[in-house]
Amino acid sequence: MSKPHKVAVENVIRPGKTNFVDAEKYAAMKAAWMAVIPSEPPGLTLAEIRERIPGRLPEEEFPGGKGVSWWSKTVQLDLEAKGVIVREKTRPIRLHRG
């Protein structure tokens, strides 16, 4: 049995802190995020993004939607830390591509 492939993720809230997570689940969630997030401001709210993501995820990686919330937040914070997506200074939070 081989070890799962891991990928490093950052956290915009905790600069300099890196964790390692399952690469396949990360890639699937990142693809879902990139498919739904607009490229221009004002972007979408977190609620709007979370409504659109589940239908774009492979069932084999997220059976019955298990773990979607945690993975969505992990990928969001990583993409923000890397500048791939940008958080607008609004309430509620709105995000778009960087």
Query: Tens of pLDDT along 14-53?
Result: 999 999 999 999 999 999 999 999 999 999 999 999 999 9
For 55-81, write each residue's pLDDT tens digit: 999 999 999 999 999 999 999 999 999
State the helix-helix crossing angle for 23-36 and 68-81, rounded to 10 degrees.
70
Structure tokens at 6: 């891991």
Query: pTM to 2 decimals?
Result: 0.92
Instruction: Specify which residues 33 forms β-bridges with.
Output: none
Q: Is residue 76 part of a domain?
A: yes
Q: Is residue 42 part of a domain?
A: yes
Q: Is residue 51 part of a domain?
A: yes
Q: How far apart are CA 1 and CA 56, in angstroms?
A: 29
Task: Provide the 8-state DSSP code for 74.
Answer: H
User: Would you say residue 4 has pLDDT above 90?
Assistant: no
Q: State the residue range of the domain holding 57.
A: 6-97
Q: Is residue 68 part of a domain?
A: yes
Overall number of domains in the chain: 1
Task: Provide the 8-state DSSP code for 63.
Answer: G
Q: Is residue 1 part of a domain?
A: no
